[in-house]
Structure 1
Amino acid sequence: MNIMRNRPPALRPKRIRRTSLHRKNLQIATLEGIPSTIFQVLLQGQFLTGFLLYLGATSSQIGFVLALTTLVNVGQIGVAFLIQKLPSRKWAMVTFIGLHRILWASTGLVPFLFPKEQWVIAFIGLYTAAFIANTAGGVLWNSVISDLVPPRVRGRYFGIRNTFLNALGSLVMYGGGVVLDRYPGGDGFLILYIVVWIFSACNVLVFFFYPDVHFEKSEERKFLPMFKKPLHDTLFMKSTLFLSGWLLLQNLTVPLYSYVMLQLLDINYETLSLLNVSQTIFMMASFYVWGNLNAKYSNKRLLFYTLPIIAASSLLWGLISVLPLLLVLFAAHIVFGVGVGGFNQLAFNFIIGDTPKKERPMYMAMYAALTGLASFFGPLIGGQIYERIEHWPQWVQVYGMQLLVGTLMILLAFLLGRRILKDQ
């Protein structure tokens, strides 16, 4: 306290203004997450699967749609180079994120604008256009937020922000499930889309208040040298390729859980919402634990510890053969929430904290492209497999796939993950 008092008066206001500005920027970033969470929760996961089933989509078409969002991430490599040419990241971010919100929300108009036989194709067209725009918006947002949040508070800030927004998402998810059960079919989805249209507009509006933070550009001016920077980083590439392989396996089944529960197990939307809410609650609780561990151990080491937990959540599905269905499903969702909460938080910290600041957009793009390709082929292959085994015994469709994938994940984690995700 005495040190602060003895500092020259001219220095105090400057520090106070800087601290106040940082706090204001973080508040804006948190506020922006509220409409974004409501908007996205009601358009993805169980609601996306349910809407596609309502439109008449097959399991392979559902797998394609679930995978599509990650395929377009390959385009982030080009965007990471192009943003170096921008005088301002803010307005490009507002433009592309606004396009994404408008186009994705417009999928709700498909039943009103197209004949029934064209519903699925029209949905896929709008959905694809939305996520092409999101490719640019995602790179810009990640670049801005990594500069907006000071490194010394990054772990604590994202932990609090993620916990708060996931709690909100749980409430929205449950409410959406109740609406679809009370108003089945088109009426329920119309109510959800009205809420979506309102909050997508609010979300775009809040982005106007984002600051235009200073951008430290790459020292490279040509695409090829910039592209090669992460490729020449051996430790980064080994980790990224391993995590891509892991996500390929994980996404063979996880994105299709809602399909299995809605179509094969005949579980209603309210119960499905409760399952997902339980997953989210334990994911939120795990943020605090993983965050504290991250203060002692490296991102990569902790990433390895999340892998057996995620694999165990898949293997738990096998207990459906001997234990009550809902008990097993709740256990599997809870364990998955703990594992994937840590995985997502630590992977994000890995790409924004363990990479050079000036080259970070290209590192982020490379990670997104490689993991995106893996995450694209996962649900696509998974959807095709479910279509091929449609006439096999029901146990194979309900939990046989999960047992096989869980076993492969355990083998991958301990045979390769232990060597790759270790402290150097």
Structure 2
Amino acid sequence: MRKPFFPALFHWLYEVVFGPLEPGMDREHKRWLDFFILESSAGTVGYTMTTGVFMTGYALYLGASDYLAGLIASVPMLMNGFQLLGAALCEKSKHKKGLLQGLLLAYRVPLGCTIFIPLLFPRSWWVPVFVGMYLLGFLCSALFQPGYNAWIVALTSPRTRGTFYAHREAAYQAVGMIFGMVVGVVVDALGQGYGAFFVPYCLCLVFCLVNYLFIRPIRYPEPTAPAAEPGEAEKRREKIGTLQRVKRNPRVLQFAAIWILWNGGYWMAFAYFSVFMVSTLGLSYSFMNIINVVQMGSLVVAVRYWGRFGDHQGWVKSLTFTCMIIIVGFAVRGVVAPSMTWLLIPISIVAGAGMGGINVGTLNMIAYLAHPEDQSFCYALHTGVAGLAGFLGSVAGGSLTDLFANVYIGPFSGIHLMFFVSGLVMLSALIVFRVWSRRVPKPA
């Protein structure tokens, strides 16, 4: 007997967004994973409203230079160096869920509250206070991420983890894309002044509360170890230090070393994309958000395929293909002049397809390479190292742009040359990754 139309449609939409109930998974467990998708979607709205083109435009309004705006864009990467501290805090805490909820609020609220800076401080303080609040917010984000990633890993199985990450990323990127496009039109309509930026930053505060309400119902898994008096083996394991953890995860360390080169090249260009569109190309916020919508739409479509591809073909192969696509997208951006801005649309399609697999791929590579007891530590180690490399890459990108400031080849300027250099650096990282991956044993 056929189901009524509307219940059948609702069921289909639910499975498209959240995925089906996997064999052997109870409905309560599935509900927790659904809440992870909802809370990350709400969080992405807040993130979108306070980063990217909105952050760049607001920072320039407050008086920041183009170079400083690019460096501020890479603050999240710099703060990721504190993820090792976050992993240690989470491991030692007796109230892990409460700690993570507090860090979530401490991350989101300062970013949204930067909109009140012109109302509370004299003009000479605007940029320093903005930078300080940005540093505080992303410091708390760095402390939050290791425990959050370990929380998700603990509630997902290796067999279905890639598919879940793909559904989660597709959902939150789609939501961020929609809000970014709509708010971009609003900012343009309001004249790109203080009142215009008030809209995205207040939305950040609203969705901070929504994010918190969605994460509250999710159960934090209890430790599987017995509560009895530990034996000698358990006592030795409790005393293991950072150096010993690094030594027993050599492949994670090798992968992180390769990602230093990749992230340095990536952020060399990525930190200046918004500055490039605002200052060099002079694009409107509406058009910039159309570009973001196209890129995120491509990402949302592609991420599901990357998840399934990685689950079936392996994450080494998945990362190889996604990196190749990103390199092409970044390098071609180096030929976009003010008279050729239409090229940003096909470039965004290509770049989005590649970016759809990079987060899913790296998280699953760490999950595969890490010792089971050290996954939270290894996420933090990898992200911290990659984050520092990303910040240094953004500094290098700004320095190269200044170095090439007086270089003009037809309609192309120094920033175009810097984009091309970033593509070469990422290509070098991909070659090293392919050589190294031949020595990584395939999963059973």
**What TM-score do the two structures reach when normalised by structure 1?**
0.90
Q: Secondary structure at the match of 2:237?
A: coil
Partner of 1:305: 321
Q: Shift of residue 276 of structure 1?
A: 1.0
Partner of 1:189: 197
Cα 1:264–1:216, aligned 2, differ >3 Å: closer, same or farther?
farther
Q: Shift of residue 66 of structure 1?
A: 1.7
1:244-293: CA deviation from partner (whole Å, max 9, x where unpaired): 21110111111211101110111111110011111111111111221232
Q: Say which is worse superposed, 215-224 or 309-318, in terms of deviation.
A: 215-224
Q: Secondary structure at the match of 1:126?
A: helix
**1:210 counterpart letter in structure 2:** I
User: Matched residues in 2 for 1:201 and 1:264: separation?
Assistant: 36
**2:422 counterpart letter in structure 1:** V
Partner of 2:380: 365
Q: Shift of residue 370 of structure 1?
A: 0.8
Cα 1:161–1:421, aligned 2, differ >3 Å: closer, same or farther?
same
User: Matched residues in 1 for 2:122 and 2:401: separation?
Assistant: 28
Cα 1:168–1:122, aligned 2, differ >3 Å: closer, same or farther?
same
**2:344 counterpart letter in structure 1:** L
Match of 1:118 among 115, 125, 131: 125
Q: Shift of residue 108 of structure 1?
A: 1.2
User: Matched residues in 2 for 1:387 and 1:120: separation?
Assistant: 21
User: Matched residues in 1 for 2:131 and 2:346: separation?
Assistant: 33
Q: Shift of residue 88 of structure 1?
A: 2.5
**1:362 counterpart letter in structure 2:** F
**2:47 counterpart letter in structure 1:** Q
1:120-163: CA deviation from partner (whole Å, max 9, x where unpaired): 10101111111122222112211211112233322222211211
**2:369 counterpart letter in structure 1:** D
Match of 2:216 among 208, 223, 227: 208
User: Matched residues in 1 for 2:177 and 2:63: separation?
Assistant: 27
Partner of 2:34: 27
2:215 equivalent to 1:220? no
Instruction: Give the conservation status (yes or no) of the 8 Å contact 1:303–1:421.
Output: no
User: Matched residues in 2 for 1:22 and 1:153: separation?
Assistant: 13
Cα 1:194–1:320, aligned 2, differ >3 Å: closer, same or farther?
closer
2:427 equivalent to 1:402? no
**1:113 counterpart letter in structure 2:** L
Q: Secondary structure at the match of 2:271?
A: helix
User: Matched residues in 2 for 1:227 and 1:98: separation?
Assistant: 32
**1:369 counterpart letter in structure 2:** G
Partner of 1:246: 262
Q: Shift of residue 17 of structure 1?
A: 11
Runs of 4+ in 1 over 6 A off after TM superposition: none
2:280 equivalent to 1:260? no
User: Matched residues in 2 for 1:360 and 1:370: separation?
Assistant: 15
**1:260 counterpart letter in structure 2:** F
Q: Shift of residue 56 of structure 1?
A: 1.2
Instruction: Give the conservation status (yes or no) of the 8 Å contact 1:46–1:258.
Output: yes
Partner of 2:333: 317
Partner of 1:352: 367
**1:146 counterpart letter in structure 2:** V
Structure 1, gaps ≥5 residues long:
1-15
Q: In percent, how many aligned pairs have the same letter?
A: 23
Partner of 2:12: none
Q: Secondary structure at the match of 1:320?
A: coil
Q: Shift of residue 94 of structure 1?
A: 0.7
User: Matched residues in 1 for 2:189 and 2:26: separation?
Assistant: 48
**Equivalent residue runs for 1:77-156 within 5 Å:** 77-156=84-163
Match of 1:173 among 180, 204, 222: 180
**What TM-score do the two structures reach when normalised by structure 2?**
0.86
User: Matched residues in 1 for 2:204 and 2:429: separation?
Assistant: 39
Q: Shift of residue 30 of structure 1?
A: 1.8
Instruction: Give the conservation status (yes or no) of the 8 Å contact 2:248–2:371.
Output: no
Partner of 1:229: 245
Cα 1:333–1:18, aligned 2, differ >3 Å: closer, same or farther?
closer
User: Matched residues in 1 for 2:81 and 2:377: separation?
Assistant: 11
Cα 1:46–1:80, aligned 2, differ >3 Å: closer, same or farther?
same
1:42-99: CA deviation from partner (whole Å, max 9, x where unpaired): 1111111111111111122113212221222222212322322222310010111111
2:43 equivalent to 1:36? yes
Q: Shift of residue 412 of structure 1?
A: 3.8
Could you say what the CA RMSD is over the residues aligned between the two structures, in angstroms? 2.3
Cα 1:413–1:34, aligned 2, differ >3 Å: closer, same or farther?
closer
Partner of 1:11: none
User: Matched residues in 2 for 1:292 and 1:40: separation?
Assistant: 27
Q: Secondary structure at the match of 2:238?
A: coil
2:320 equivalent to 1:290? no
**2:198 counterpart letter in structure 1:** L
Q: Secondary structure at the match of 1:210?
A: coil
Match of 2:392 among 347, 360, 377: 377
User: Matched residues in 2 for 1:133 and 1:256: separation?
Assistant: 24
Q: Shift of residue 309 of structure 1?
A: 1.4
**1:243 counterpart letter in structure 2:** W
User: Matched residues in 2 for 1:116 and 1:367: separation?
Assistant: 39
**1:202 counterpart letter in structure 2:** V
Q: Shift of residue 296 of structure 1?
A: 2.7
